[in-house]
Each structure stands twice: as structure tokens, then as C-alpha cells.
Amino acid sequence: MEKDGINKPARVLWRLGYFLRELIVSTLSVGPIPTHVAFIMDGNRRYGKQQHLNQGGGHVAGYLALKLMVLYCRELGIKYVTAYAFSIDNFKRSPEEVRCIMDLMVEKIEQELSQVDNTFSRMGVRVHFSGKLELLSQPAMDAVKRLMAATAGNSKALLTICFAYTSTDEIVHAVQETCRRKLAPDQIEGKGNYVVKVEDIEKHLYMAVAPEPDIIIRTSGGHRLSNFMLWQSSNTCLITFSQLWPAMSCWHLVWAVLKFQRNYYYLEKKKKQM
Ligand code: FPP
């Protein structure tokens, strides 16, 4: 065991994996690389049960998978990564599970903020949280704000974590915000024009921080969007894998990019026809 806690065979294996990924990146870079990849991370609890992990162990494995996926996306030059971590409907789960996920979030953010495990900062990734954040517990809300502030200056890539998010809530929020601004006494954005346009709503969507996703990947074999990025996904390549989220590997991302490249000209043509 060496001083950073990683033994020699593990280090050699990691380096081998790195060179293999470099080779894949240079091959894939011959074609178009997606700008924005979004993930519906499904299957953490099933993974936890399958692997006989303690309560919450599936979500811990899910968080590790997210960090690795962001690393692979960075290596591929993907500028925007979005993860659907927790929907507003997930608040209907047992209070113990909701608390366990919030606690995990606080714990992982604290680690990220310390110099011990600041993976996202080391990759130059800005972390942003999207959704109805007022639903978060106070410690989770404080942690989220601190992480967003600490990574605000990173510009290599943007990781958006959708938490307490649903598309329907996002659209309602954007419409309400548009009306509020147009009807405000000083008409912040209205300037006498009360007509609500698509651009007005788009400006106030939680996901206005990123362009429309090129790819949405859903794990665990589901074929639904589950109220995720409905406004933004009319020209998105949808890909599902039967693997549970924590079991996702670099190869799944490679497969998804290849599928995107095969459909690229068709999707670009459809965008222009809109
Ligand atoms: C979906 O699997 C996953 C969740 C609802 C929670 C995901 C949360 C994390 C990975 C932790 C987030 C932490 C940070 C810092 C972002 P599921 O629970 O629906 O699993 P199932 O499909 O097997 O029931």
C-alpha cells in the first residue's frame, strides 16, 4: 500500500483504463461530440439489494457512479452533464429514506468542499442544482448553496444536479415568474408588452443554465422520461440501458455517443425544420 492509500496493482489498472479511454476518445472525436448529456439515474435501491448493501448503500454507489460518469464526460469533451437525482414525487418515499438521501447529499458535499475529495473542482467542473430547492432540508440547502458558490468559478464543464425537480413544476415556475415580472409595477421585463412568448418562459426555466440535451440516458430498462426535461427534449436522442445506474460504465457512454453520432444528421435536420 502506498502513501495515498492506493496499492500498486490498482494504480496500474487505473492507468491502463486511462490509456484505453484516451484511445477511445481520439476515435470518437472523429465524429460529432454531444454538447449536453443528461442521465435519469434509476436503480440505486435495486442495486443496493442485489449487492446486499446497508440501507442507503445503493445511493452511495449511485453517487460514485455519477462522479465516474462526469469524469468520462470530461475526457470526451462533453461540456454539460445533467443528472436527475431526486424528483418532487420522490418526497413521497418513507421519511427515513428521504432523510438518508439528504444526509448523503450533505456528507458528499462536505467531502467535495474539503480538500480530501474535491473531485469536481479538480476536474474544473462547476456544480449547479436545479429544481424547487426550497423543499430541501435546511442543512441540505446550506450545503448546496456552499457547493454552488465554491465551484462557481470553474468553467471546464457544468454539472447540473436536478434535485426536487419535475418538468411540470419547472414549467409552472417559469410561467409564474414570467407573469410576475411582466405584471410588476416597474415591469421588470414587460415594458408595456404583456404577451407571454416562448422565449420569456425559456428564460425562467430551471434548466436555462444549459442548452437542450443531445442525449438522455435512462438506466434500469425504463422507457419513460418520468417528468424530466420535457420542455427541452423534442430533438434529443433517447437511450435506455437495462443496467442499474450504479453498474453503468464508460462503455455505456461510448455506446450512447456512437448512437448519437449515427443519428446526428437526422436530428440536426429535424431541428432546422422546427
Ligand atoms: C434513483 O434510484 C436514485 C435516487 C432517487 C436518488 C439518487 C441520489 C443520489 C445518487 C445522491 C445524490 C447526492 C448528490 C450530492 C447529488 P431509485 O432509488 O429510484 O432506485 P430503484 O429504481 O431501484 O427504486
The model's pLDDT over 86-103, given as tens digits with 9 standing for 90+, comes to 999 999 999 999 999 999
- Count: domains in the chain: 1
| Residue 237, beta-bridge partner list | 215
Ligand 1 site-directed mutation target among 45, 102, 148, most atoms within 8 Å of CB: 45
* Domain assignment present for 227: yes
pLDDT of amino acid 3: 52
pLDDT of amino acid 268: 87
pLDDT of amino acid 182: 86
Residues 257 and 42: their CA atoms lie apart, in Å, by: 20
pLDDT of amino acid 188: 64
Residues 247 and 139: their CA atoms lie apart, in Å, by: 29
pLDDT of amino acid 7: 79
Task: For residue range 133-154, list pLDDT tens digits in order.
Answer: 999 999 999 999 999 999 999 9
- Where in the sequence numbering do the catalytic residues fall? 42
pLDDT of amino acid 18: 87
CB 120 within 8 A of CB 151: yes
Q: Helices (H) and strands (E) in the chain — how many of each?
A: 9, 6
* Domain assignment present for 192: no
* Domain assignment present for 111: yes
Ligand 1 site-directed mutation target among 41, 44, 108, 144, most atoms within 8 Å of CB: 44
* Domain assignment present for 182: no
Burial (Cβ within 10 Å: 0-12, 13-18, ≥19) of residue 237? buried
pLDDT of amino acid 4: 59
48 CA closest ligand 1 atom index: 23
pLDDT of amino acid 273: 79
Extract the residue ranges of the chain whose pLDDT is less than 70.
Answer: 1-6, 187-192, 274
Residues 120 and 137: their CA atoms lie apart, in Å, by: 23
CATH number of the domain residue 236 falls in: 3.40.1180.10
Cα–Cα nearest to 237, from 257, 260, 254, 255: 260
Residues 32 and 25: their CA atoms lie apart, in Å, by: 12
Range of the domain at 158: 36-165+210-273
Q: How many beta carbons lie within 10 A of that of residue 29, not counting itself?
A: 12
Q: What is the chain's length?
A: 274
* Domain assignment present for 109: yes
65 CA closest ligand 1 atom index: 10
CA angle 104, 218, 26 (to 5 degrees): 95
* Domain assignment present for 154: yes
